Amino acid sequence: MKGLGGKVAIVTGGAASIGAAIVRSFVEAGARVVIADIDEAASLALARELGPNALAIPTDISKDASIEACIATTIKAFGRLDCLINNACLYLDRGLASTREEWHRALDVNLIGHVIMLRESLAELRKSRGSVVNIASVGGKFGQAGRALYPAAKAATLQLTRNQAVELAEFGIRVNSISPGWTWSQPIERATKGNRAKADRVAAQIHPLGRVGNAKEIADAVLFLCSDAAGFITGTDLAVDGGYSAVAGDGGHPITARLSE
């Protein structure tokens, strides 16, 4: 991607699945990347795999002190910050049965932590006239029975992206979001016990392109939004969903349950 060589990115939740694909893609594009993930072992393993342009900084985005330490360590190590990718996610969700504690925990990770990451990154992003990509979801656009915490956070992410884009435009900072459809990643791998063919078969019922997405396809979209090619794009949501949103998803029925049948 044009213009990413030498830049510095932080990817929250960057140790596995979509996050790890984003980290790898940034490194391949010549950028230096911080893997900001609560899973220290997985973060360190990925950093070792990718070499000196990847740095693992164990980070709990539900803790302000951890976020502050992540930003400070990034600047000490790499001297700048150009791209913030808010990807960390918690899938805790029992719908209407969810407790107040579960609501607080889920929103802390899926929403509030991303807001604080941006707040604490802002001084450096202003220097670089950088780019922010918030990972939202098609789950934040349509209703679905049995869920509440995750889609509420993702819907809020879509609105916050627009607010942040308008507020930060005067500093040259672009803020966009990406809404993946079903993507071959840890949740779907677990649901299908690693059966990609089954995932594709079920996904084909609600994704016109007939399969689940690949993590690399989400990563490519992130890099595009951070690149010079997207220099006049801000405040928008890019649906990387195989056509899911074109057909209004699953019509409100919990089709995901079929993955584990």
How large is the average pLDDT for residues 231-251?
Answer: 89
Residue type, 234: T
Q: Say whether pLDDT at 253 is over 70.
A: no
Q: Does the residue 211 lie in any domain?
A: yes
Q: Which pLDDT score, from 0 to 100, does residue 145 have?
A: 86
In this predicted structure, which of 35-44, 107-116, 120-129, 251-260 has the lowest mean pLDDT?
251-260
Domain assignment present for 167: yes
Which residue is catalytic, options 25, 31, 43, 150?
Answer: 150
- Judged by phi (left if over 0) then psi (alpha if -120 to 50, else beta), residue 95 lies in left
* 115-137 average pLDDT score: 98
Residue 65 lies in a domain: yes
Rounded distance between C-alpha atoms, residue 125 and residue 83, angstroms = 7
Q: What is the pLDDT of residues 141-155, one digit of tens each?
A: 988 888 999 999 999
Mean pLDDT to the nearest integer, 92-108: 96
* Integer angstrom CA distances of residue 46 from 97, 170, 173, 215, 252: 37, 36, 29, 16, 37
pTM of the model: 0.94
In-domain check, residue 1: no
Domain presence at residue 2: no
Q: H helices within the chain, ranges in order?
A: 17-28, 40-50, 64-78, 100-107, 113-128, 149-168, 186-192, 196-203, 215-226
Here the tokens at position 50 are 């990718």
Domain membership of residue 236 (yes or no) is yes
71 domain-assigned: yes
The single residue listed with the structure tokens 């649901």 is 191
Residue 109 DSSP code: I
Res 204 pLDDT > 60: yes
Task: Give the tokens for residue 160.
Answer: 């916050």
Cβ neighbours around 102 below 10 Å, total: 16
What is the predicted pLDDT for the residue at 232?
A: 98
Q: Name the residue range of residue 154's domain.
A: 8-260
Kindly report the CATH number assigned to the domain that includes residue 180.
3.40.50.720
Work out the average pLDDT over 196-216. 95
Domain count, the chain: 1
Binned at pLDDT 50, 70 and 90, residue 241 comes out as very high
List the structure tokens of 198.
Answer: 């089954």
150 in active site: yes
- Would residue 106 count as lying in a domain? yes
